[in-house]
Amino acid sequence: MIVTVTGGSGSGKSEYSENLLLRLCGEGRRFYVATMYPYDEESRARIRRHRKLRSGKGFMTLECPYDLKSLRLSPENGKKPSALLECMSNLAANELFMEQGAGKDAADEILSGVKALAAQTEHLVIVTNEVFSDGLSYDESTDFYRRVLGELNRRLAELSDSYVEVVYGIPVCHKGALL
């Protein structure tokens, strides 16, 4: 099963996604695929907050700031593990703007990575982000970033069984069922 979870900043989408994956995978092996690149103190603080949030939930953390399609998850006794991939907004920024990233091919590269991950998992929960509604105009590169993330969200919705928006902790379902 593939579920994509979206939401704005501080919407509670991470906590919702972690708990959703736990409901789906039960006692099974679960990975947390972390995409934030720790480039300053603020991002390090954010990483600490997320680690604290998911501590005690039994996740094995894998760092993957770019090149998702080369990621390999180890099965447990031949059984596919589950994974929480967080999040598309970091992955898109890294693929677009980091030297090692895919540049203009970011959306295709990331989608290939998501499909490769889906093939290796029993359940996959993908966290993305709502960055489209502030009514501001941006420079060309930020606008291209928004375009890439918008395209990713549309394509993720196509391949997901459920697409859920978390609004201040409240799940609002746009596709499929709430689980």
Distances (CA, A) of 122 to 18, 21, 26, 43, 91: 15, 11, 11, 30, 22
Which residue stretch of 56-64, 95-103, 130-138, 151-159 sits at the interface with other proteins (rule: CB under 8 A)?
130-138
97 binds other proteins, rule: CB under 8 A: no
Q: According to CB under 8 A, which one of 1, 8, 144, 159 is a site residue for other proteins?
A: 8
Task: Using alpha carbons, select from 91, 93, 130, 135 the residue that is nearest to residue 11.
Answer: 130
| Length of the chain in terms of residues written | 179
142 binds other proteins, rule: CB under 8 A: yes
Name the residue nearer to other proteins (CB basis): 12 or 28.
12
177 binds other proteins, rule: CB under 8 A: no
Q: According to CB under 8 A, which one of 23, 132, 147, 158 is a site residue for other proteins?
A: 132
Name the residue nearer to other proteins (CB basis): 8 or 28.
8
Token pair of 121 as six digits:
């998992």
Q: According to CB under 8 A, which one of 39, 53, 138, 174 is a site residue for other proteins?
A: 138
131 binds other proteins, rule: CB under 8 A: yes
- How far apart are alpha carbons 65 and 37 in whole angstroms? 6
Name the residue nearer to other proteins (CB basis): 41 or 99.
41
95 binds other proteins, rule: CB under 8 A: no
98 binds other proteins, rule: CB under 8 A: no
Contacts to other proteins by CB under 8 A: 7-12, 42, 130-136, 138, 142, 145-146, 167-170, 172
